[in-house]
Structure 1
Amino acid sequence: MALPTIEPSKTAYIAIDMQDNILAAPTIGPSTSAEVLAVNNQLANRLKNTAILIVQVTVNMPDVQNLFPFPNGFEKPPLSPNTARLMMPIAHDDSATNVITVTKHNPSAFFGTDLEVQLQRQGIDTIILTGVSSSNGVYATGFDAYEHRYRVISVEDACADRDPESHRFFFRKIFPRIGWVTESDKLLQHL
């Protein structure tokens, strides 16, 4: 399916969980952490200081870990501050005028954050979605975006998962049901 027309002033590029403690997972695939980071950096460099909003999403891992039930005999770990570091240079680039950061406490970047308010204020209707992991944070955010009536463009080579088979399943079966699936080179040519 051909990509939709992209109006830069109505588009946000959302990079999910591109942070040190997630990218350091022992198994990430089908692309390596370095490859996914390189593709996301290429996209961010192209979009820096354009009309497209760049959203760097970080997850506070202790909060998310507290969502899981613990069997009898185990206590939930205490909540602690987010100490993760966003790994994309754009997140720390003071010369970038179109970047915001959102900290999530759940798999989706929409639930319990101000992301929806930020997107509405800027008239966003299209989301370019990337990050780790395809079957968790990327999917949860993409599905919420779909439910909020955003046009969702998922960039396969800019995403990865701890389970490469899950990544392939989501990109073959799930993401095409909520929007468009593309590769970074096709997206960059389309912009």
Structure 2
Amino acid sequence: MPDTQPHTHTALLVMDMQVEILSRYAHAKDFLTPMHDAISAARAALIPVIYVGVGFRPGYPEVSANNKGFGALKQRQMSGMTNMEIYPDIAPQPTDVVITKRRVSAFCGSDLDVVLRAQGITHLVLTGIATSGVVLSTLREAADKDFQLTVLSDCCFDNDEEVHRVLLSKVFPRQAEVIQASDWTEKL
């Protein structure tokens, strides 16, 4: 029997919304309201909400000195990156899935693909911080894995406003529908 609801194979990804990460972005909290609204609407529509955060074991055994970004983290031994605490205003519920990744993309070093395939998910709705980091890397990898993609533009943030604008207006539309959270929730 065919699906009667178009969103039955959809999941909302809430990426890198950890306390430690948000603390590095001065104006990031400005986008928490549309993020909260998107999460609430997804739950009401029975769309899985999947939280993805970056995390490492104590001592950072997953991090190579050759990795420019994470290698510096390892040298500083930042304890926050061993803590997966999601920002409290949008914290996961017991029914949500929480994934730990080891690199920038939500797929790299995680079991995200296994979780998505097990649930028959073919459409990903992307949100998170930073637009030029986890959102870009996950979008590219998800497109290569043949997922249908939507990016909620007001649920993404980057410290570089120009990079954020170019990604949302010129790069992402090549592989995803880019819309506001309110437009997405109206369709549910």
TM-score class, shorter-chain normalisation, is 0.7 to 0.9
User: TM-score, normalising length from structure 2?
Assistant: 0.83
Q: Provide the rounded CA distance (Å) in 2 between the counterparts of 1:154 and 1:55.
A: 15
Number of residues of Structure 1 aligned to a counterpart in Structure 2: 177
Following the alignment from structure 2 to structure 1, what is the Cα–Cα distance between the partners of residues 63 and 18? 15
Deviating beyond 6 angstroms after TM superposition, the runs of 4 or more aligned structure 1 residues are: none
Which residue of structure 1 aligns with residue 9 of structure 2? 10
Tell me by how many angstroms 1:78 deviates: 5.1
Counterpart residue number, 2:87: 87
Task: State which of 142, 166, 174 in structure 1 corresponds to 2:163.
Answer: 166
Q: Do residues 134 (structure 1) and 128 (structure 2) align?
A: no
Aligned-partner SS, 2:121? coil
Rate the CA distance shift 1:16–1:92 in 2: closer, same or farther, 3 A. closer
Structure 1 residue ranges without an equivalent (≥5): 1-5
Mapped to 1, the partners of 2:91 and 2:120 lie a distance apart of 22
Partner AA of 1:41 in structure 2: H
Deviations along 1:91-118, one digit per CA (max 9) or x if unpaired, are: 3433xx3x10011110001111100000
Shift of 1:21: 1.3
Alignment of 1:60 with 2:55, yes or no, is yes
Please give the alpha-carbon distance, in whole angstroms, between the structure 1 residues aligned to 2:63 and 2:186. Answer: 36
Residue number in structure 1 paired with 2:18 = 19
Consecutive unaligned residues of structure 2, counting only runs of 5 or more, are: none
Aligned to 1:3: none
Q: Secondary structure at the match of 2:85?
A: coil
Q: Which amino acid aligns with 1:181?
A: V
Alpha-carbon distance in 1 for matches of 2:38, 2:148: 18
Q: TM-score, normalised by structure 1?
A: 0.82
Matched-pair contact (CA < 8 Å) for 1:126–1:150: yes
Amino acid at match of 2:9: K
Distance 2:176 2:78 in 1: 35
Residues 51, 92 of structure 2: 8 Å contact kept: no
Question: Percent identity, aligned pairs only?
Answer: 28
Q: Distance in 2 between matches of 1:157 and 1:85?
A: 22
Pairs within 5 Å for 1:88-167 = 88-89=88-89, 91-94=91-94, 97=95, 99-167=96-164
- Per the alignment, in what secondary structure is the counterpart of residue 132 of structure 2? helix
Q: Distance in 2 between matches of 1:187 and 1:49?
A: 13
Say whether the 8 Å CA contact 1:41–1:88 is kept in structure 2: no
1:33 aligns with 2:28: yes
Return the alpha-carbon distance in structure 1 between the equivalents of residues 63 and 187 of structure 2. Answer: 36
The 3 A distance-change label for structure 1 pair 117 and 189 is: same
